[in-house]
Structure 1
Amino acid sequence: MQNKGLIKVFAILFGLVCLYQLSFTFITSKVEDEAEEFAVQKVGENVENYSERRDLVEARYLDSIANEEIIAGITYAGAKDKELNKGLDLKGGINVILQISVKDILGGLANDSNDPAFRKALAEADAAQTDSQENYIDLFFESFNNIPNAKLASPDVFANKTLSDEINFNMTNEEVEPIIRRKIDESITSAFEVLRKRIDKFGVTQPNIQRLGNSGRILVELPGAKDISRVKNLLQSTAQLEFWHVYKSNQLGNFLVQANNKLAQMKRSEKTESAKEEDSASTSGDSEIDELLADAEDSTQVETGANPLFDLMLSPGSQGGPVLATFKVQDTAQVMEYLNKPQIRSMLPSDMRYAKFVWGVPNEETQTSALYALKGNRNMEPPLSGSVITDAQQTYDQLGRIAVSMQMDGTGAKIWEDMTGKASNEQSQIAIVLDNIVYSAPGVSSGAISGGRSEISGDFSITEGQDLANVLRAGKLPASAEIIQSEVVGPSLGQEAIDSGIMSFVIALILVLIWMILYYGKAGIFADIALAVNILFIFGVLAGLGAVLTLPGIAGIVLTIGMSVDANVLIFERIKEELAKGKMQRDAIKDGFNNALSSILDANITTGLTGLILFVLGTGPIKGFATTLLIGIATSLFTAIFITRLFIDGYGIKGKSLDFATSLTKNLFTNMNIDFLGKRKVAYIISGIFIFVSVGSLFVQGLNQGVDFVGGRAYTVRFADDVNPSDVQQDLVAEFGSAEAKTFGPDNQLKITTKYRVNDEGSTVDEEIQQTLYNALQSYLPADLSYEDFVDGADDKTVGIMQSMKVGATIADDIKNASFWAVLGSLIVVFLYILLRFRKWQFSLGAVAAVFHDVLVVLGIFSLLYKVMPFNMEIDQAFIAAILTVIGYSLNDTVVVFDRIREYVNEHTSWPLGKTVNAALNSTLSRTLNTSLTTLVVLLAIFIFGGESIRGFMFALIVGVIVGTYSSLFIATPVMFDSVKKKSQIQKKEKPKTEEAATA
């Protein structure tokens, strides 16, 4: 090996850089432990809201020492920015995918046009999107272009005043489309920036926000976020801030009386008509007694509903104030329906015909809301909108209440001065309306307010005031944002995942280190040192790149440990072969490394290709798994080829003998002469039976598709005591209509899934379903467990929702299709790579046949066993990651065998092909079994100790490794052999022989 000194310097420097990067994580961890200890001592456990108070004290402690030097100029704040990021499943928090409504943006660009063609195209795009993979804008244009004579450049659509600089009446639809696409992209970019500003001010460390393609979807990950409802409100709030003049109660008092009387009259008319219809259908209409009874009953009913509006009113507004009346929150929809009836609105005075009725902020304690009437206009546009706000801060008003002060730009300041001047002269008030809800309606009595300063006061908490200021400062979203996929992990579950992940990591590492020493002796010690360096490199690179460490990421690292052993095994086995030929130790080591290099590169490139596909197409934890896998492959190659070589060469220079085996393993797998090709027909029959059963089960029983693929909501709920999932499921079905409950880990923890109202969006729907879930599980929960404690994310939470997930039907369909293309794409890419590498399509055919075999068997086993296994076997994104990893592993094995076949073909030109293939298989058997057993030991360690959430994922990998090892020996190579019609295609100098002779 040349340039040993340069490699030593690089390895030492790179190791020091990795240690430096990881030092920030050690510093922050130490400081946070001290902060937690301080908070525990400061806050007594018996204090009300213990978790919240403790978190607050801890946060204040960290803020107070954030900029103090800890060591070598490093502060806590600086270290926090550079620490190793922990993902959602390790830290708790929320992961959501927001869909920015392209429909809303189109409506805004068209000035909310009521053009029939425009509305029809929107409706058809809505309907088509439920089962289509195309973007909304493509579906809209497709529908619009199918409408005869429909023009995008119509003055009623996009050729309006707003877009007059870019679109004119003479433009064709094809010319308008790119302009609208650009406008939509600008709006989504604007939404992305608004959300990013909101999140930056939210106070969560290491947030992640990114656009997902051109679909209008935005991924937001907030590790460590605990107040989930607050996060969702912050993300989805459109922040439509408006300032309106408001009517006084005495101006509309008579209208409410008239409205009530008119509604009573309408109800009497409806009942009279209904009574007449019943009379005409009655056969006893000639009875005078029946008529009298009917009249009496009708009279009673009219009296009962004599005041439809006033019966719902709790209290009228104060004389001359902005509140018209107060109603119960549950009655607000009914009241608004009454007031917006055409017959009722027609009773408004002519100068008030554009009045806009809105509600105030609901009072949480009394569950009431105040009714206001805004002074509208023909276009129903406010005199002043929130777009003029340049700054907003959470403050306190003159009475000491929490408020939000705002500063306007020059244009806004002028309009605000005019509005407040008019209000002052008329002794009227101005309503400050956010998202169609009146937050305050202050009176103006001291004249016009200049300078553009204003204030929103109301019944805010500190966090609500901070969030409102944050939203106003960041700006409003250009369109509504709906959460179409979300995952919430409680911090206590995250800590459990860390504990289980570390345990599985340590156990797997110890087992691998011991195995290498037992099998290869002193050489195994050198491989172990290289492995330790490899782990340092992986974590250092993760920290340096700012990558996120997830539970599947830990699994990826542990799997890399198992697979990185493969490179050392390949090298050591080749060195043993060279020593067996009688070569000197120095020459054997040199040739062993050189001969193994081709196989190592091929095997790692094929695995790397599947990891790359996972990285490109995966999201969240799957991307984390792919990241660690790719980094692990790169560092494993370096440490195996260079670090191990440095130690072995250094040992050999001193003249010491290195056997690369122990007394127990020295003669293992030597002189093997198994007739693999002779047994291929039996293997075909066995595999055929497995595939037949698998395909049959897939058709008959199917797969247990997870929420990722079918849409719905999933909750991991922990109980104080063990529960029977069948009993719980019955209670859930009674509430939701359809639901499933399965034990998830310990007997006191269930995974509950339901598709109930999966297509309904909004935080209120989520809260309603969680409330229903709480009610359904009431008999299994502690009597003193409140709804808030059931759903919140306290650190020390032991009962309630530990994790939740929601996937909309549309995105579920997209995920399923993306997964299909990921698997198919990986097969195509690998087929092409092997074709280019070996220059014979027969090798590609054998490899792909083996992979198809492995995938079908794994799918079949999951189909057959998901109802009986005591752990979760759902088909979700993690399972697809497992399938792709199985593909990579299977190819890794196969490529090593193919590489040896190619080498033997060139070396033994006089051998029949059957003998060459069998010899190659026997010579790689030691490496195949050694690597497979090592990887299996690692996977079993993760499966047993790695936590419930990745148990199904690990089981798929375990099955895949076993089946992949089998298929590389008994499927890939035999298929390649049988597909060679003319043996000269592989071996030009081979003499014609019968197949029986060839395989002998």
Structure 2
Amino acid sequence: MQNKGLLTTFTVLFALAALYALSLTFVANGVESDAKDYANGDSDVEYAYLDSMSSEEVYPIIGYTYGELRTKTLNLGLDLKGGMNVTLEVQISEVVKALSSFSKDNAFNQAIIDAKTAQKATNADFVTLFGQVYQEKNPNGKLSSIFYTLDNKDKLSPNATNEEVLAFIKEEADDAIERSFNVLRTRISLFGAAQPNIQKLTGSDRILVELPGVKDKVRVRQLLQGTAKLEFWLTYENQEIYPMLAQADELLGAANKAKASVIDTTVTDEVLSEGTAEEVADAIETLVDSTVNSAEEGTASLLDKIEGAEGESSDSNAVATPEQSFEDYAKDHPLFAIMRPAIFQDEQGQYFPGQGPIVGYVAIKDTAKVNSYMAMKEVRALFPPRIKFLWTAKPYDDEGKFLQLLAIKVDNREGKAVLEGDVIIDASQQFDQFSGSPRIDMAMNGEGANKWKHITADNIGKSVVIALDNLVYSFPTVQGEISGGQSNITGNFDIEEAKLIANILKAGKLPAPARIIEENVVGPTLGQESINKGMLSFIVALLVVLAYMVFYYSKAGIASVIALLANMFFIFGVLASMPQLIALTLPGIAGIILTIGMSVDANVLIFERIREEIAAGKGTRLAVADGYKFAYSSIIDANVTTLLTGAVLWFFGTGPVEGFAKTLVIGIGTSLFTAIFITRLIFEFNLNKNKVLSFSTKLTDGAFKNTNINFLTNRKKFYILSGIIIVIGLGSLLTKGLQYGIDFKGGRTYVVRFDNPVSTVDISKSLESLFETSPETKTFGDDNQVKITTTFMIDSEDENADDVVEGKLNEGLASLSSKYEVMSSQKVGPTIADDIKTSSFWSILFSLIIIFIYIVFRFKKWQFGVGAIFALFHDVLITLAIFSIFYGILPFSLEVDQAFIAAILTVVGYSINDTVVVFDRIREYLGSFKKRDNEDVINEALNSTLSRTVNTSLSTIFVLLMIFVFGGEVIRGFSFALLIGVIVGTYSSLFIASPIMYDFTKKIDKK
């Protein structure tokens, strides 16, 4: 064997590198195990323990601290470790609006709306879509008239063409995405998640964020979606605003009366208290002239009514006179029926407005209604022109039901705060020295410190509101001038919340809002179960394959066992050495297991060829040398085609598909090395020691030696059989279709586990009214676990939509008698679903084209390529047909999703692997027996490869059966697709690909 010394040295170095990489993981896992034991189930204590170990040296030999080790260990994906995977879309529409200085041009604003709608059906960037829409609707429109502003005059010419303006917008948009990416990366690094991953998705406005191990999804959403727009506002006093609120309440009440008695007596009195904002606005606009005089009565009459009040509402503490029911009071006072004004009673029983900027207290469920009242132009006319109202970020009461409303003073035409967050240079979570409660300390730059000094000096005794993303976190009363630029935010924070806000402020604000359009959340319980099931399937599959190889190939099988174990060691070593590039996922484990089955193929090819050489009368040493030499071509061809398929999956795939592809590609590389080189070293060692090498047992000696199946004579029977199955499948596809997962149709999915078996019908009924339509509910695995799928609020642009949907989910599930746990959740927006469908189509098509080109190139005859492609289409159609026919019948999920596409492409790779090996032997025989009839030569070639085909297929099928049985419900449909594909692929390589190649060759020969 040439270069034996060099290859041996490489093997030793490779093994040492893998051992080193795995040792880092082993030490880090030891620290984390100690943390779990110390915490005894308390996740906060566990986190604090690990945080304290970050700077402690835990690997003395090398000098690594735990904090350093954490970024260098085997990276477990979300499905194994738990955590979140989100795709954010930067709202470039807001950047475009800002660049136009929020132009009121109708054509411009309509183009923005139309471009946002178009973006839901394509993955094109927003600026391109905006330009196309604007040009179509306004062919003579000049964008320069909109974007040539005071802020842009140095970057744009007043006579710039539309193309030049769009180029300018694109440059600014790309800059906004880049800055958003940097801000998010900084926030994530400060958040403390282990081995986070963040990357821009090329050619789009999207950013992918992976946070393994995180548990608080609400705070992660706040971390990622919050723009971090920090503002300091001056305030009005409640005494100034209360009379105006009273007038607004009287105005609404008078309009309510007039609406019922004057305008239309058929309209109910609940219009103002229950109607939409548009209905209320219409009523107010019509009645304003007749009701203003009534509103001028001021506060006196209202205070008189409140003074004797005894009734109250269930939520907002609104009051009615003894003679009035609450319903009657609500008709007269729509605003104060849902807002308790900040008025108080003194010792003499007299009511007076309270001090400070708080003007009212409102139940959280009523805040939207209050906002709609306060937004009406007739109501706003009662208040100062530049007033604005902000809600507190957190409820002020112990039950968490009520928010406070504050009156904000806007002293400039631009509507800006007196001080903004861009002056903050540092922020940190600290503890208040008096109360001990968590707070957020902030340090300002020189400009900010100077402004803050003047603001506090001019407003002693008054409140200053500190708001983040238009929610008030603090409104302290200024006690004296504050110099030095130091300030803090106090509130009802817990430690983690204070840390989160401090980190957001420290990282800076996003230049444009970012919205989550795809999300995958896996709970730690499910993650641990996935590890257990994945490892069980891995161990069982490995043992089955090893036992089979020893049973069939005797001592040579033992060599393959050693090679396979070395292969596993190298795969995990590579994964551990590149944690930032590759995370081990459950589909990744499936990829490794499949690699076990496929790596056996190289050993089988070599061993079968050695057996042939021994049967031809050669000595063992020469037979081994020639066996390796003659098997190389088939091995290389087979693995290159599978490698090409894996590369396509890696390039086009995301999430589970990408994880599967990466481990598959790595496994192909390491298995080639171990199967070819390590087994050869073992054989050389035994031969040099004059030990006997055996390549079969008594039971397998001579197996498949005298087979003489006439594959080509019976080919039309197999064409008919396959045709019948495909026709039935196409009929099912056209009538029944496929069961698409949310990857392809969009929506939200929740896997929920109950303490006891539950009825899917009962679950659907309990959620139907909350979700507006009945969700799809299916048993998922055991009868106490279900998968709930809904499209409720999937199109909503509200950044709190995810929390709202989960709140309704919990509300509905709480009504059932069984306790439950949400094991995992997934959200896929409509835009993402369209992109996944598009990328899936192109990945399949591209892989087929690449394989066809490679086969034509390698075999120098296009007939081989045609036979292979026909077989691939045959395999894909039959797999799709089976999924269509049996979904809803088999007791496990047969959803078509990203994992299914990965399975289809893997089937393509496996099938072509098998076909290429067969073709390689056909090519060899056709070259050696040129004078014999082609049909006889091809039949003999197919029979000669039968042993290899059966052994490789059986070992792979054994492996996939282990994944199917032991791998868990999450990948059961995936492993079923692979199992069907391997069986069909083995059949097609013998009975479809080769006969079709023969038929096309025969037609050419006749011509």
Compute the displacement of 1:622 (Å): 1.5
Q: Distance in 1 between matches of 2:100 and 2:982?
A: 57
Please name the residue that 2:938 is paired with.
Answer: 917
1:153–1:168 Cα contact (<8 Å) kept: no
1:746 paired residue among 757, 767, 782: 782
Deviations 1:19-62 (A, max 9, x none): 1110111112222222222222xxxxxxxxxx5xx122223333
Q: Distance in 1 between matches of 2:142 and 2:225?
A: 30
Please name the residue that 2:708 is paired with.
Answer: 673
Please name the residue that 1:359 is paired with.
Answer: 391
Compute the displacement of 1:570 (Å): 0.4
Q: Distance in 2 between matches of 1:138 and 1:969?
A: 50
Residues 265 and 569 from structure 1, CA distance in 2 versus in 1: closer, same or farther, beyond 3 angstroms? Answer: same
Residues 412 and 709 from structure 1, CA distance in 2 versus in 1: closer, same or farther, beyond 3 angstroms? Answer: same
Compute the displacement of 1:303 (Å): 6.7
Please name the residue that 2:9 is paired with.
Answer: 9
Q: After TM superposition, list the pairs within 5 Å mapping 1:909-948 onto structure 2.
A: 909-948=930-969
Amino acid aligned to 2:468? L
1:560 counterpart = 2:550: no
Please name the residue that 1:39 is paired with.
Answer: 39
Please name the residue that 2:43 is paired with.
Answer: 55
1:82–1:543 Cα contact (<8 Å) kept: yes
Counterpart of 1:251 in 2: which secondary structure?
helix
Compute the displacement of 1:258 (Å): 2.4
Compute the displacement of 1:321 (Å): 1.4
Counterpart of 2:715 in 1: which secondary structure?
helix
1:358–1:371 Cα contact (<8 Å) kept: yes
Q: After TM superposition, list the pairs within 5 Å mapping 1:587-598 onto structure 2.
A: 587-598=622-633
Amino acid aligned to 1:504? S
Amino acid aligned to 2:716? K
Residues 332 and 733 from structure 1, CA distance in 2 versus in 1: closer, same or farther, beyond 3 angstroms? Answer: closer
2:82–2:212 Cα contact (<8 Å) kept: yes
Q: Distance in 1 between matches of 2:966 and 2:253?
A: 69
Q: Distance in 2 between matches of 1:524 and 1:738?
A: 56
1:712 counterpart = 2:738: no
Please name the residue that 1:216 is paired with.
Answer: 205
Q: After TM superposition, list the pairs within 5 Å mapping 1:566-585 onto structure 2.
A: 566-585=601-620
1:556–1:626 Cα contact (<8 Å) kept: yes
Compute the displacement of 1:237 (Å): 1.0
1:430 counterpart = 2:420: no
Q: After TM superposition, list the pairs within 5 Å mapping 1:689-708 onto structure 2.
A: 689-708=724-743
Q: After TM superposition, list the pairs within 5 Å mapping 1:776-925 onto structure 2.
A: 776-782=812-818, 785=819, 799-925=820-946
Residues 635 and 455 from structure 1, CA distance in 2 versus in 1: closer, same or farther, beyond 3 angstroms? Answer: same
1:504–1:946 Cα contact (<8 Å) kept: yes
2:144–2:165 Cα contact (<8 Å) kept: no
Residues 246 and 813 from structure 1, CA distance in 2 versus in 1: closer, same or farther, beyond 3 angstroms? Answer: same
Q: After TM superposition, list the pairs within 5 Å mapping 1:245-394 onto structure 2.
A: 245-275=234-264, 305-316=331-342, 319-348=354-383, 352-363=384-395, 365-366=398-399, 367-376=401-410, 377-394=412-429
Residues 36 and 347 from structure 1, CA distance in 2 versus in 1: closer, same or farther, beyond 3 angstroms? Answer: closer
Q: Distance in 1 between matches of 2:696 and 2:142?
A: 77
Counterpart of 1:187 in 2: which secondary structure?
helix
Amino acid aligned to 2:834? D
Please name the residue that 2:350 is paired with.
Answer: none
Compute the displacement of 1:683 (Å): 0.5
1:530–1:643 Cα contact (<8 Å) kept: yes
Amino acid aligned to 1:140? F
Deviations 1:330-374 (A, max 9, x none): 2222222222221222223xxx31111222234153522222222
1:872–1:952 Cα contact (<8 Å) kept: yes
Q: Distance in 2 between matches of 1:744 and 1:982?
A: 52
Please name the residue that 2:103 is paired with.
Answer: 113
Q: Distance in 1 between matches of 2:963 and 2:329?
A: 73
Q: After TM superposition, list the pairs within 5 Å mapping 1:183-198 onto structure 2.
A: 183-198=172-187
Compute the displacement of 1:767 (Å): 2.7
Compute the displacement of 1:954 (Å): 0.3
Q: Distance in 2 between matches of 1:654 and 1:456?
A: 78
Residues 390 and 730 from structure 1, CA distance in 2 versus in 1: closer, same or farther, beyond 3 angstroms? Answer: same
Residues 910 and 92 from structure 1, CA distance in 2 versus in 1: closer, same or farther, beyond 3 angstroms? Answer: same
Compute the displacement of 1:685 (Å): 0.3
Amino acid aligned to 2:225? Q
1:463 counterpart = 2:464: no
Amino acid aligned to 2:560? A
Residues 882 and 304 from structure 1, CA distance in 2 versus in 1: closer, same or farther, beyond 3 angstroms? Answer: closer
Please name the residue that 1:729 is paired with.
Answer: 764
1:102 paired residue among 92, 96, 102: 92
Please name the residue that 1:481 is paired with.
Answer: 514
Q: Distance in 1 between matches of 2:830 and 2:420?
A: 36
Deviations 1:542-571 (A, max 9, x none): 111112111111111011011000001001
Please name the residue that 2:126 is paired with.
Answer: 136
2:27–2:58 Cα contact (<8 Å) kept: no
Residues 331 and 647 from structure 1, CA distance in 2 versus in 1: closer, same or farther, beyond 3 angstroms? Answer: same
1:144–1:150 Cα contact (<8 Å) kept: no
2:127–2:169 Cα contact (<8 Å) kept: no
Counterpart of 1:324 in 2: which secondary structure?
strand
Counterpart of 1:702 in 2: which secondary structure?
coil
Please name the residue that 1:439 is paired with.
Answer: 473
Amino acid aligned to 2:389? F
Compute the displacement of 1:603 (Å): 0.5
2:515–2:799 Cα contact (<8 Å) kept: no
Please name the residue that 1:527 is paired with.
Answer: 560
Counterpart of 1:433 in 2: which secondary structure?
strand
Counterpart of 2:137 in 1: which secondary structure?
coil
Q: Distance in 1 between matches of 2:163 and 2:949?
A: 59
RMSD of aligned alpha carbons = 2.0
Residues 256 and 771 from structure 1, CA distance in 2 versus in 1: closer, same or farther, beyond 3 angstroms? Answer: closer
Residues 153 and 729 from structure 1, CA distance in 2 versus in 1: closer, same or farther, beyond 3 angstroms? Answer: closer
Counterpart of 2:144 in 1: which secondary structure?
coil
Deviations 1:647-669 (A, max 9, x none): 11221223333231111111001
Please name the residue that 2:314 is paired with.
Answer: none
TM-score (norm 1): 0.90
1:28–1:80 Cα contact (<8 Å) kept: yes
Q: Distance in 2 between matches of 1:511 and 1:642?
A: 23
Please name the residue that 1:93 is paired with.
Answer: 83
Q: Distance in 2 between matches of 1:25 and 1:655?
A: 41
Residues 312 and 470 from structure 1, CA distance in 2 versus in 1: closer, same or farther, beyond 3 angstroms? Answer: same
Of 496-505 and 720-729, more deviation after overlay is shown by 720-729
Q: Distance in 1 between matches of 2:757 and 2:364?
A: 39
Q: Distance in 2 between matches of 1:903 and 1:86?
A: 45
Q: Distance in 1 between matches of 2:47 and 2:115?
A: 47
Residues 670 and 146 from structure 1, CA distance in 2 versus in 1: closer, same or farther, beyond 3 angstroms? Answer: same
Please name the residue that 1:686 is paired with.
Answer: 721
**Runs of at least 5 residues in structure 2 that lack an aligned partner in the other structure:** 269-323, 344-352
1:451 counterpart = 2:484: yes
Compute the displacement of 1:149 (Å): 5.2
Amino acid aligned to 2:961? L
1:87–1:549 Cα contact (<8 Å) kept: yes
2:576 paired residue among 529, 543, 558: 543
Deviations 1:358-401 (A, max 9, x none): 22234153522222222223221222211111111112345423
2:438 paired residue among 379, 389, 402: 402
Q: Distance in 2 between matches of 1:513 and 1:253?
A: 82
